[in-house]
């Protein structure tokens, strides 16, 4: 009788352990014991070995999942801190555009991470034309104060000779995209009265910088065209 109770206890222990780890890897090849029937030690040990294999496998998967969850949490925190955002400044008068290149307005964007800034300057050039001669104003958004060199972001406003004189309002808008580093990034709206005719100022302006964490630029390489032979 005592041996029979002992065997039943071993069987119960195996069933309990199997049930408690039922969400682990599948346990296969278990020997089923009947109440009162003798059990071989090798069969009992084989059952425990199968259960251990499944539990160990589940433990490995849990550790891998923990690592992946930790990495995902880090990525999520990075994404949360790198949300798109905007900085801007605006006003009625943005300063006189002189005959020497100079900054008219500046704006500092505090980027939460490295990424990109879409910078736009818009408004009006309030131009008091002194005579009917030619005149030209140059505006540019740049990361360098006073930069009005020709290139990306430079906009020219020309007054053609013979159109009279007096006060004219010329709308302008220029946009550039810059790579930015985490922290402070300063942008400038620069101006130059290149061909002086009267006085010119920036009026009703807005200088905006929008931060985005990623670029989706893609370059499509087209295959070479296959020559077509036309028989005469």
Q: What is the mean pLDDT of residues 111-126?
A: 95
Angle (CA) 5-11-16 rounded to 5° is 125
The larger pLDDT score, comparing residue 194 to residue 60, is at 194
C-alpha pair distances (Å), 144 with each of 8, 19, 30, 34, 43 = 85, 69, 75, 86, 80
CA atoms of 150 and 104, how far apart (whole Å): 17
pLDDT (0 to 100) of residue 82: 76
pLDDT (0 to 100) of residue 3: 45
- From start to end of 77-225, where are the E strands? 85-96, 102-111, 115-129, 135-142, 154-159, 166-180, 183-195, 199-212
Which has the closest alpha carbon to 176: 200, 146, 155?
155
User: Which residue matches tokens 């000779």?
Assistant: 161
Q: What is the pLDDT of residues 168-211, one digit of tens each?
A: 999 999 999 999 999 999 999 999 999 999 999 999 999 999 99
pTM over 0.85: no
Is residue 82 within 8 A of residue 112, CB to CB? The reply is yes
pLDDT (0 to 100) of residue 220: 55
pLDDT (0 to 100) of residue 184: 97
DSSP result, 38-79: ---HHHHHHHHHHHHHHHHHHHHHHHHHHHHHHHHHHHHHHH
pLDDT (0 to 100) of residue 94: 84
Is the pLDDT assigned to residue 219 strictly greater than 90?
no
Q: What is the mean pLDDT of residues 18-26?
A: 50
pLDDT (0 to 100) of residue 80: 66
pLDDT (0 to 100) of residue 174: 94
Q: What is the pLDDT of residues 91-102, one digit of tens each?
A: 998 899 999 999
Query: Phi and psi of 70, rounded to 5°?
Result: -65, -45
């Amino acid at each position: 009788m005592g041996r029979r109770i002992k065997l039943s206890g071993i069987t119960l222990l195996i069933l309990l352990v199997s049930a408690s780890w039922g969400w682990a890897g599948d346990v296969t090849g278990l020997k089923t014991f009947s109440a009162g029937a003798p059990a071989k030690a090798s069969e009992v040990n084989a059952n425990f070995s199968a259960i251990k294999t499944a539990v160990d496998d589940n433990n490995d998967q849990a550790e891998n999942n923990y690592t992946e969850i930790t990495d995902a949490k880090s990525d999520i925190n990075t994404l949360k801190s790198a949300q798109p955002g905007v900085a801007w400044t605006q006003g009625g008068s943005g300063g006189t555009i002189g005959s020497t290149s100079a900054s008219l307005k500046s704006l500092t964007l505090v980027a939460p991470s490295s990424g990109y800034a879409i910078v736009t300057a818009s408004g009006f050039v309030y131009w008091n034309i002194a005579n009917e001669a030619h005149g030209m104003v140059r505006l540019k958004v740049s990361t360098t104060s006073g930069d009005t060199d020709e290139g990306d972001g430079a906009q020219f406003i020309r007054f053609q000779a013979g159109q009279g004189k007096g006060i004219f309002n010329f709308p302008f808008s220029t946009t550039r995209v810059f790579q930015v580093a985490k922290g402070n990034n300063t942008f400038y709206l620069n101006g130059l009265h290149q061909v002086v005719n009267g006085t010119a100022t920036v009026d009703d302006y807005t200088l905006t910088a929008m931060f985005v964490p990623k670029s989706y630029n893609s370059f499509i390489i087209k295959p070479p065209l296959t020559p077509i032979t036309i028989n005469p």
